[in-house]
Structure 1
Amino acid sequence: MNNNQAAVQSVALMIHKVSQQGINSTNLAVMAHDVYHQGNQSVLGAGRPFSTTDKTNLLEILSDDVTPDLEIIESRCLAKGKETLMWYRPRVKTAIDVHGKTYTIPLPSLVFLLHKRTLYVTAYKGDKRPEKDTKLLLAGLPNVSANGSWCSGGNSLPAHPNQAHIERIEEVFFLSPFTHFNGAAADLDLPDNMNASEHLTAYCEALEKKRQFPVSKLATVPSRSAWNSDSATTMDDWFKHITRGR
């Protein structure tokens, strides 16, 4: 049979017991063989090492074969995957810890994105559910960088998040001590002669006096091109950059 004209419809796995000379131990070697089917005949192709790609494909096949639990869509959920969860939080006053003191400050509407155990946070104008083309702003919060990544301080976040984790993740984020700015602060026209600690305290004290967060003082999240462009990025662009690296 001509294997070039036959379709590969299955893969056979062969496990070989390998003894190492001079060492009193054995190893298992897994080889993958494409099975070519044509008519009533099947031919076992040449063996190849069972690669990382093969393992990934096998896991996906096994995962698809298992019926997932059904869950009601959380109203704030924006996207969900095996290692990814994105949701939004409308603007509201929130208590945060800064240098051991609690400040209750107005916050802008926020977009949270947890991907591979790293949490990213950005802001946006208004309080409605953000759309794919919503322009994102810097979070205006300490411990958050210009691309939204949060300095977690050792907090553990779920590897496979689901919608039930949303409130818990927010608790971890807001109850963790905020210690420093990392590029996502708003421009509140504070004096330039303060050190980092004084600036953070003055920043929170200024916000406590406001009814709403001054969103107009937030810069836009830089475009995904190395995060160094002046053009704003949309939520869709930001999501794809974080989750797909593009």
Structure 2
Amino acid sequence: MSTVSIAHENDVELALDSALLFYRAQGTHLIYATQHSARVVDGKPTLLAGVPITLDQLADIADLAARKTSYRGFIHDRVVYLAPNQLAWWVPACTRRVWFNTKDKIGERAGGAAHPPLVFIVNRTSWSVFALRDNTRPGQATKLYTAPYYNVWEGGEICVGNVQTPDAINTDSIKPYEDAFFRSRFTHTNNDRLIHRRGGAERLWLDLLDGAEFPLDRLIDAKQTLAKAIGSSTNED
């Protein structure tokens, strides 16, 4: 059994008090729950007779758990989806500095460049980015496009490498995640089809570093909506 450390402001002695038992109907998601007083009898933990848990009691338990596991506070104005251990937000089109260290014609170079509107999706196991064609807050049915960045896989997942990402997933994580992405060194392409144009992503970023506007009409359809991408991210978690 693993050792568990419980932090408390003062010394406190823990004593066995009660237990919850959950029963599931096989092949379904139906749950029946009972609460039992528990005592140590002759040195052995013992469950006493139980009573059914009411919906109000379940709501109280869920609320107590949510206080420790989910975010509570004012929502960041760019968040489009928020759930425990999952977050999605959008970034309006902007000019922002990027760094490259590649083996192609870009080489080792840094500078300000135009970026398309973006959507980031983060959960406990993955970190993804997609582009938008319209510089407006996306909704569930908004079509997503391939984000034409080096170090991003075809499905939108970002190659983390040695980049430090936030430990927590909440609205306070937005700026650290964006900084981790934009301030990383873009080194190589993980997807051969990042943009519809002659010269591909290499030519695109050379032009953007020289001051060109971002060609939104050249973005490649990612074949999914925002809702579908968030759903896929949830299933992977």
The counterpart of 2:171, out of the listed 163, 171, 185, is 163
- Residue 145 of structure 2 aligns to a residue whose secondary structure is coil
Does the CA contact (< 8 Å) of 2:69 and 2:84 recur in 1? Answer: no
The counterpart of 2:76, out of the listed 74, 77, 81, is 74
Once the two structures are superposed, the pairs formed by residues 54-203 of structure 1 within 5 Å of their partners are: 62-64=64-66, 70-99=72-101, 100-183=108-191, 185-190=194-199, 200=202, 202-203=203-204
- Residue 110 of structure 2 aligns to a residue whose secondary structure is strand
CA spacing shift, 1:234–1:16, aligned 2, 3 Å: farther
CA spacing shift, 1:175–1:12, aligned 2, 3 Å: same
CA spacing shift, 1:164–1:150, aligned 2, 3 Å: same
Q: In the TM superposition, what is the alpha-carbon distance from 1:245 to its structure 2 partner?
A: 4.1
CA spacing shift, 1:9–1:130, aligned 2, 3 Å: same
Q: In the TM superposition, what is the alpha-carbon distance from 1:119 to its structure 2 partner?
A: 1.5
Q: Which deviates more, 175-184 or 158-167?
A: 158-167
Determine the C-alpha separation between the residues in 1 that align with 2:163 and 2:40.
41
CA spacing shift, 1:233–1:69, aligned 2, 3 Å: closer
Q: In the TM superposition, what is the alpha-carbon distance from 1:86 to its structure 2 partner?
A: 0.9
Q: In the TM superposition, what is the alpha-carbon distance from 1:210 to its structure 2 partner?
A: 5.4
Higher relative contact order (CA 8 A, sep 6+): 2
What root-mean-square deviation, in Å, do the aligned CA atoms of Structure 1 and Structure 2 show? 3.3
| TM-score of the two chains, using structure 2 as the length reference | 0.68
CA spacing shift, 1:179–1:8, aligned 2, 3 Å: closer
Determine the C-alpha separation between the residues in 1 that align with 2:50 and 2:208.
68
Determine the C-alpha separation between the residues in 2 that align with 1:30 and 1:144.
52
CA spacing shift, 1:218–1:62, aligned 2, 3 Å: same
**What amino acid is the match of 1:190?**
G
Q: Percent identity?
A: 21
Determine the C-alpha separation between the residues in 2 that align with 1:188 and 1:109.
19
5+ residue gaps, structure 2, are 1-31, 53-60, 102-107
Does the CA contact (< 8 Å) of 2:165 and 2:176 recur in 1? Answer: no
CA spacing shift, 1:118–1:65, aligned 2, 3 Å: closer
Bigger Rg over Cα = 1
Q: In the TM superposition, what is the alpha-carbon distance from 1:212 to its structure 2 partner?
A: 2.5
- Residue 89 of structure 2 aligns to a residue whose secondary structure is strand
**What amino acid is the match of 1:242?**
S
Determine the C-alpha separation between the residues in 2 that align with 1:15 and 1:148.
53
Kindly tell me the number of residue pairs found equivalent between the two proteins: 191
